[in-house]
Chains A and B, each alone.
Chain A
Amino acid sequence: MKHIVFFLLGCFLVQFTGTAQQKTPESYLIEDIQMPEGLDAETGGIAFFPDGRLVACFTRGEVMTYSPETKEWKLFAEGLHEPLGLLVENNSEIIVIQRPELTRIRDTDHDGVADTYDKISDAFGISGNYHEFNYGPVKDRNGNYYIALNTASSGGGFRPNPRGELNLMGRDSTTGKKQMYAVVPYRGWVLKITPEGKTIPFASGFRSPNGIGFDDQENLFVTDNQSDWVETSTFSHVRQGQFYGHPASLVWDENLKGVNPFQIPVEKLDSMRTKPAVYFPHGIMANSPAQPLYLTKNNFGPFTGQFLVGEMNHERIVRVMLEKVKGEFQGACVPFYDKKGIHFGNNRLAFAPDGSLYIGQITHGWLGSKGLQRIVYTGTVPMDIEQMKLKKDGFELVFTKPVDVRSIREKSAYALRHYFYKYQKKPATEHIDKSNQSDIQEVKIRNIKISGDRKRVTLQLSELKAGYVYELKLNDVISADGTPLANNLICYTVNNLLP
């Protein structure tokens, strides 16, 4: 009898809380896009034509168009070798990166099907290692294209007839099995290709740069995936001539001719490298970040000027916010859309003309999914952390809506830790997939200040150190109107302190 009473009470509580939560309308809604029958929808790239059609490429080589109005799929091009990105030039022309080259694909007779496939650049090597994926392209205002080239997998060899010069110094000869490698030109590089077709090695030091994108000021950002030398996944501001940490690619650096990059001491490599603007803590925020997409318009919620970044290994899209400290970008990452119907494998992102976000998904043998989804902003402002900014002795949190002061004024509302990711060659005994947080410590909050409009909370900390990730978890924070905080875990990368 007692059991039945408790059971009924339980039911009542579930029902009650259920109704209470229904009061808050959703800010974002997600839906699946119906894919054509017979398509293995491993999505390599998506974009929109000016006329509103979606164009997407898939790893079996198809390029298909989709009309959001009629929901009809049509074949545009076929036969490509593992296309992993595309860019729209106009209603009848796209640029696709595939395994052998960057290709311009045109429909010159305007019958809706491509008829011309022109090479833009194949001035980079192919060793035949399965992991030498190519990513991009993005285009700057001067018409230059940028692509990013994956290194070869330590889990596989290369074929007897590589394309391009072979340099075995691009592969570690001592414990080479653990390290991704670059035995043919420009693996691990971002390349720039001029409108005249000249290919320029632009920046080095990448492992698996499966994401490349500009902000609105022509700053180029690239994501990289955790593994050897990349202790956790990264988001970097990429500038010409700079090196981003994975040594294999340095074998193709004109200034280091004849140098075995794997024999350069770690301290020296560390001094040469440009640090990521943001670390994505592994197993916490993202394990395999993909394309960054800059939010230029304010019709997708209150995050204009920030990036959305696809994540392969979580049912999640991550949001990245940046600020300049000592002249360098740094900032924080926070989930943007987490679970609630989004799939794994969030590889490519594009905004439709109607302002909704399309997501292209891929597995390609790793954790992921296939197909496309679409997220629509309902116009209801989410209760979220709009910004996390560095202060002299702590952080300022800016919320999208006024917070309920009771939920945020006590120190118990915050769990703050710091840790750092050591720049190192993976110890031979350790697996490359293992990510190590060094010096994990709880950080004490000394003082909490809440602004008059209740949208800004300043946290004064007992200490603040450069070179650390500050991971902040907010417990049971709600807005003044009772909406729970949409995402409660945010990680700020402190490369520099305020002067």
Chain B
Amino acid sequence: MKRTGSYRYYRLLICCIVLLLNSRTTVQAQGVSGAPQRVVRLNAVTGMQFDKVQLTALPGENLRVILLNQDEMGHNLLITTPGKRQEVVDAALALEEKGPELNFIPPSKDVLGSLPVVYPGDSASFDFTTPETPGAYPFVCTYPGHGFFMYGVLYVGNDVKMPAPENDLNIPESRRLPDKNAEKPATANHQHSEELRLHPYELQPPYLYRAFLEGSGLAGIAVRLPEKLAFCWDATACKLQFAWSGEFLDNTDFWHGHKNAYAKVLGDIFYRDQTLYPLRIGNKDAIPSVEYKGYRIVNRYPEFRYVVNGYEVTELIREKTDGSGLIREFRIPAAIEPVWFVFSGSDGIRYETGTGKIQGNNQIVYTPGEARFFTIIMTY
């Protein structure tokens, strides 16, 4: 056992020396044969992709290939002889239980160069002298399962004419797009969000998404209303947080996940609740305790159900038919105390109610009888 230990130490020492020598090579930017070395940078990116899928090099060129892993999974990198990508991927899979210790790199004459698994956030490099024979040399990640999607091609030749991506069978199908670097038109998600096919059905307002929304607690409910209106109801705070007009949401980043993304509010926010809580029961100065219960769908509108100081409340918010604001219908069927609806006098909204008495410029009071059903119209 001791011998193994010292042997390992010896090997480690050699590794260190090799590393030192290697780092010298980097500084000098010289390849193995002393010819100048060119650095090729590849990034592994989200969605099991290399950021570049078409590369070119001269025959016999000294390359230093640097792989930066910006993905959340480990990836290796192999360069294979032309036409052998699939065989090498299959050979890596066939390693089965020996795969992990070999970094999923199969011993094969078709593997011309390789980089062991690089973990997320890390980068590593290897030196590679391109073959003298011109051709299309695949590069691929052979981590189990990745090889079907994660590959590209290194064209080696003196006067390489790379095929256009849309015609290049050496790159993944998902990458055969013309001019992938072209800016997306700004209107892609923003101007026609409701016309894009986001679901297997047509979105007809009203409809809703539960989502992370900036300006709301983390249990947000975004509701799309007719007349290009929308609002965010916060299921933690149990209240309407804000409302906007114009386009609804861009869920692209939010649905993609992998980052603390929000569903982006499009359009213009015309209202934000600025109260500690809009409803007061029994005592207009006491901030009540609240508990969210759920919602039911009434003609496609959600009617929220929650408890305020022990009283069950329902609230249904619809559009003003001329698009100038919101109509909020509250029901507190068991009310036996007066109820206040409190608002900020300076939130840019005109408040109206059918029953109840407006007091000052920031509250409306309802008798217990009136509180069983009341309507507040908010015009901006």
Partner-B contacts on A (CB < 8 A): 36-40, 59-62, 64, 73, 75, 78-82, 98-101, 103-104, 114-119, 122, 126, 128-130, 155-159, 161-163, 281-284, 287, 313-315, 344, 364-367, 417, 431-435, 437, 440, 471, 473, 489
* CB–CB A126/B218 < 8 A: yes
Which of B120, B236, B260 lies in contact with A129, CB distance below 8 A? B260
Chain B residue, CB-CB nearest to A473: B97
B342 contacts the other chain (CB 8 A)? no
In Å, the complex CA distance between A147 and B221 comes to 22
CB of A128 within 8 A of CB of B260, answer: yes
Supply 7 A–B pairs (Cβ within 8 Å), ascending by A: A81-B212, A119-B294, A130-B261, A158-B260, A161-B217, A367-B48, A431-B122
Nearest neighbor of B100 in chain A, beta-carbon distance:
A283
Secondary structure type dominating chain B contacts: loop
Cβ-based interface call for B211 (8 A): yes
Give the contacting residue for B200; candidates A39, A98, A432, A437; CB below 8 A.
A39
4 tightest CB-CB pairs across the interface, nearest first? A431-B119, A283-B100, A81-B210, A100-B219
A-contact bits for B30-50, CB 8 A (1 contact / 0 none): 000000000000000011100
**A36, A39, A116, A155: the one within 8 Å of B296 (CB):** A116
* Contact indicator B259/A114 (Cβ below 8 Å): no
B164 within 8 A of A: no
Asked, given contacts A39-B199, A81-B210, whether A101 binds B219 with beta carbons under 8 Å apart, the answer is yes
Q: Is the CB of A60 within 8 A of B199?
A: yes
Q: In whole angstroms, how far apart are the Cα atoms of A100 and B292 in the complex?
A: 11
Please report the C-alpha to C-alpha distance between residue A161 and residue B217 in the assembled complex, in whole angstroms: 7
Contact A163 B200 (CB under 8 A): no
Known: A126-B219, A282-B100, A434-B119. A156 touches B297 (CB 8 A): no
Q: Would you call B256 an interface residue if the criterion is a C-beta within 8 Å of the partner chain's C-beta atoms?
A: yes
In the complex, which residues of chain A have a beta carbon less than 8 angstroms from the beta carbon of B119? 431-434
- Provide the bound-state CA to CA distance between A342 and B156, in Å: 36
A490 to chain B, nearest CB (A): 11
A344 touches B145 (CB 8 A): yes
- CA of A322 to CA of B305, assembled, Å: 46
Q: Are B294 and A156 interface neighbours, CB within 8 A?
A: no
Q: How far is the CB of B16 from chain A (nearest CB, A)?
A: 15
Q: Tell which of A36, A116, A157, A162 has the most Cβ of chain B within 10 Å.
A: A116
Contacts of A489 in B (CB 8 A): 96-97
Taking a contact as CB atoms closer than 8 A, the residue among B122, B198, B217 that contacts A163 in the complex is: B217
Q: CB distance B294 to A80 under 8 Å?
A: no
- Give complex CA distance A100, B234 in Å: 11
List A contacts of B236 (CB < 8 A).
Answer: 163
Contact between chains at B197 and A365 (CB < 8 Å): no
User: Is there an interface contact between A122 and B292, defined as CB atoms closer than 8 Å?
Assistant: yes
Encoded as 1 (CB less than 8 Å from any A CB) or 0, chain B from 188 to 202 comes to: 000000000111110
Q: Are A314 and B145 in contact (CB under 8 A)?
A: yes
Instruction: Give which listed residue, A61, A64, A434, contacts B74 with CB less than 8 A.
Output: A434
Contact: B209 with A61, CB < 8 Å? yes
Among residues of A, the one whose C-beta sits closest to the C-beta of B219 is: A100
Contacts of A161 in B (CB 8 A): 217-218
The distance from the CB of B316 to the nearest CB of chain A, in whole angstroms, is 13
* Chain B residues within 8 Å of chain A by Cβ, number: 52
- Taken together as a complex, chains A and B put the C-alpha atoms of A366 and B201 apart, in Å, by 27
For A128, list chain B residues within 8 Å (CB). 212, 218, 260
Chain A minimum-CB-distance residue to B292: A119
A79-B208, A128-B260 as given contacts; A116 in contact with B297, CB under 8 Å: yes
CB neighbours (8 Å) of A118 from chain B are 293-294, 305
Q: Does B200 contact A75, Cβ atoms closer than 8 Å? A: yes
- Separation of A366 and B294 alpha carbons in the complex (Å): 32
Inter-chain contacts of A287 with B (CB < 8 A): 144
Report the separation of the CA atoms of residues A281 and B98 in the bound assembly, to the nearest whole angstrom.
11
Closest approach, in angstroms, between the C-beta of B65 and any C-beta of chain A? 20
Known: A128-B212, A128-B218. A435 touches B293 (CB 8 A): no
Closest to A431 in B: B119
Q: Is B207 an interface residue (CB 8 A)?
A: yes
**In the complex, which residues of chain A have a beta carbon less than 8 angstroms from the beta carbon of B122?**
431
Q: Which of A80, A281, A434 contacts B210 (CB 8 A)?
A: A80
A369 vs chain B, min Cβ distance (A)? 10
Does chain A have a CB within 8 A of B109? no
In the bound assembly, the distance between CA atoms of A75 and B207 in angstroms comes to 13
User: Which one of A36, A62, A434, A471 contacts B97 once the chains associate, using CB atoms below 8 Å?
Assistant: A471
Partner of A365, one of B46, B101, B117, B293: B46
Of listed B198, B200, B221, residue having the most chain A CB within 10 A: B200
Q: Do A315 and B258 touch (CB < 8 A)?
A: no
Inter-chain contacts of B96 with A (CB < 8 A): 284, 473, 489
Q: How far is the CA of A98 from the CA of B212 in the complex (A)?
A: 12
Residue of A nearest to B222 (CB): A79
Interchain nearest-CB distance for A474 vs B (Å): 12
Question: Chain B residue with minimal CB distance to A281?
Answer: B97
Is the Cβ of A98 less than 8 Å from the Cβ of B258?
no
Judge whether A100 and B235 touch: CB under 8 Å: yes
Contact of B73 with A367 in the complex, beta carbons under 8 Å:
yes
Does A115 contact B144, Cβ atoms closer than 8 Å?
no
User: Shortest distance in angstroms between A158's beta carbon and chain B's nearest beta carbon?
Assistant: 7
A366, B73: Cβ atoms closer than 8 Å: yes
Tell me, rounded to whole Å, the shortest Cβ–Cβ distance linking B220 to chain A: 8
Q: Could you give, for residues 86-101 of chain B, a 1 whenever the CB lies within 8 Å of some chain A CB and a 0 otherwise?
A: 0000000000110111
* Set of chain B residues within 8 Å of A103, measured between Cβ atoms: 294
CB distance from A54 to the nearest CB of B (A): 15
Q: Chain A contacts of B255 at CB under 8 A?
A: 40, 59-60
Q: What CA separation (Å) do A161 and B212 show in the bound complex?
A: 11
**Is the pair B294, A100 in contact by a Cβ cutoff of 8 Å?**
no
Q: How far is the CA of A162 from the CA of B236 in the complex (A)?
A: 10
